[in-house]
Amino acid sequence: MVRICKDGLVTGKRVLHLGTGLDRFARKTLLGAGAVAVIDYDPNFFPDRSVLEETFDVVVCNYVLNILPPAERKLVYADIATCTGASGRAYLCVQGKWPVENKHRIVGRFADGFVIRDGPTPHFRRGYDPKEFVDEIEATIGGRARVMGMFYSNTLAEWIPGSRVAGNDAS
């Protein structure tokens, strides 16, 4: 979030904060960086799906894709593709492989990630290396993706819409 705000990537833009969770500071940070509007969507905390019928100049999705198994992740990618305007951008951040495999208590494998149990309830976690993340974005929703930066082992990527929209393939 800091990087896209610092680089002026939200200035004058309508922003969708997808998967906001209980982040109390993102809206203020985005508005302070010049966003003209910030809409929050999270199925648990801001569940009004009607906001996903709009298009935005910028979609921000931080640390959401890496906590979802493949089928759910594909649905979020479809939301990203649908909500990002033709000339818009999406900024996506995921956790790297190292922390997932070394800082969490892994209790099993599931699909392309792990079941971890750091607290009372087990949950899914996937770690990415930068190339895997960019490849997954492009394979799932088309367009072009690029790594904008790394911090610790986490990857921040930019997605630029293309001609293919999620959900149009047979898979």
Q: For 74-97, write each residue's pLDDT tens digit.
A: 999 999 999 999 999 999 999 999
Other Cβ atoms closer than 10 A to 11: 12
Name the nearest CA neighbour of 114 among 64, 69, 156.
Answer: 69
Superfamily of domain 2-96+127-160: Vaccinia Virus protein VP39 (3.40.50.150)
Burial class (CB in 10 A: 0-12, 13-18, 19+), 71: exposed
- Please tell me the pTM assigned to this model: 0.92
Q: 119-162 pLDDT, tens per residue?
A: 999 999 999 999 999 999 999 999 999 999 999 899 999 999 98
H helical segments located in 16-122: 26-32, 70-83, 97-102
Strand partners, 17: 40, 60
CA gap 121, 90 in Å, rounded: 31
Q: What is the predicted pLDDT for the residue at 21?
A: 87
Residue 163 is predicted with a pLDDT of: 58
Domain map of the chain by residue range?
2-96+127-160
Residue among 86, 77, 99, 111 at smallest CA distance from 151? 99
Residue type, 120: P
Residue 168 has pLDDT above 80, yes or no: no
